[in-house]
Amino acid sequence: MSGGRQGKPRKTCVTCGREFEWRKKWERDWERVVHCSERCARAARSARRAKRS
């Protein structure tokens, strides 16, 4: 394939709402990835916890 500027899939972060690009480190988990970064993942986790307690 040639001519495509970008072959990487993208998603929108559920925490910050920004688009992020596929990364090598997610190659096995991409379907599960919903956050653009570790930071957003943590924020989501702590938010969930906060709601419970």
Tell me which residues touch Zn ion (CB under 5 A): 13, 15-16, 36, 40
What is the closest distance, in whole angstroms, from the C-beta atom of residue 1 to Zn ion in the complex? Answer: 29
36 CB burial (10 A radius; 0-12, 13-18, 19+): buried
The least CB distance from residue 43 to Zn ion, in Å, is: 8
Coil, strand or helix: which one is 10? Answer: strand
Choose between 31 and 41: whose C-beta lies nearer to Zn ion.
Answer: 41
Which lies closer to Zn ion via its Cβ, residue 5 or residue 25?
25
